[in-house]
Amino acid sequence: MSPPKPFVNAGLNVGLERAINIADLRRMAQKRLPKAVFEFIDGGAEDEVTLRENRAAFERTLLCPRVLNDVSQPDMQTPWPGRTAQAPIVIAPMGSCVLAWPQADIAIAKAAASLGLPYTLSTMATTSIEAMADAVQGDLWFQLYVLKDHAFNDQLVQRAQAAGYGTLVVTLDLQAGGKRERDLRNGITVPLRLNMRQVLSGLAHPAWAWQMIRGGSPQYENVKGYMGQQSADLTIAAKVGQSLDPAYDWDDLARLRDRWKGQLMVKGVAHPDDAWRLAQMGVDTLWISNHGGRQLDGAAATLDALPAIARRLAGKMPLLLDSGVRRGVDILKAHTLGAQAVAVGRAVLYGAAAGGEAGARHALQILMDELRLSMKLSGLARWGDAADLVAPPTLPKPSTPS
């Protein structure tokens, strides 16, 4: 395969300095991308109840700040095995990012590495395990979708280990592809077949269209030869879903735990009983996720699921949370409820869609700056300190002298 062609800005005036929050970057992405592509990134499953609840959970969780702590230099450093991240933020695995920006996987990973943050490469990325390791000098994690062919799964794991990925993230909440109704209506399929509506939308977004033409047809580099050409014209979710193994069980995960020599995370946990059992079998970190509202519609918001899991585990292992994070204060709210860190997907992809690597870095910098400010205003000096900051439903009455 010939090396990818370099890309230019195609005359696009990104204007990233005008984006002061993630919502601004989302609006810029929406303006730059065709409707079908933006809704593929932005949308969820079915009625999008869980998509909305992920965000609503953060908005209804309030903080009760503390005072008289020295917060002149808030310390956001977060320990991970073998290294320390500069903030409690991880890049979540995302497939088909190339629809937002050419070589978006590498652009986002470079942005994360420049800020000292881990990046998780998806099985369904359009950049291979090896190409990412060659292109980015940072803390790289590999996310494994459990495919029906377990020998192929083993090959992916071996490739990740050989390429130097120190953390394996096994996704457990994708037994089938979610019903993405926006994608069905918009005709986002594999392979991508342009109808007249999509052609006209592309012409209305010339900078995006030119970059896509320059890049050629994207491929799922890590599963080449596996998914085949059968069942064309499925949505991306359905195409991926038909390759997944819905029979994968506890014994299969135990065998993987024995084979993988690095840190093992499991992603897609929501029930405290599952969390407890995973802790007992030697999983290193639990990643609480509902796939950003893109799988089971009606699943609990991750922030709502977090406290019960944190209580059940009582500090036995680190907890990572994704879905709905749009503000730095959201990261602090997750921490006060038991998460060591959060993972962000759409928030950083909006930035990449608006301006490539610079846009992704700007999105991460916004979150880090907002988190630093939130820590100051909440009286939290060090990220690792216990923080009883969540406001109870009824604030306590002032105590009176006896």
Catalytic site includes residue 291: yes
> Token digits for 189?
């399929």
Cis previous bond, 191, omega within 30: yes
Torsion of CA 157, 163, 169, 173, to 10 degrees: -60
Angle (nearest 5°) at CA 338 between 336 and 343: 95
> Token digits for 304?
């709502």
Q: Give 395's DSSP letter.
A: P
CA distances from 393 to 8, 16, 29, 136, 396 (A): 52, 39, 37, 45, 9
> Token digits for 346?
């759409």
Radius of gyration of the chain (CA): 21
245 close to 148: Cβ distance less than 8 angstroms = yes
Furthest-apart CA pair in the chain: how many Å? 80
Burial of 232 (0-12, 13-18, 19+ CB in 10 A): exposed
- At 235, the amino acid letter reads T
Of the residues 150, 205, 291, 362, only one is catalytic, namely 291
Q: Among all residues, which ones are annotated catalytic?
A: 291
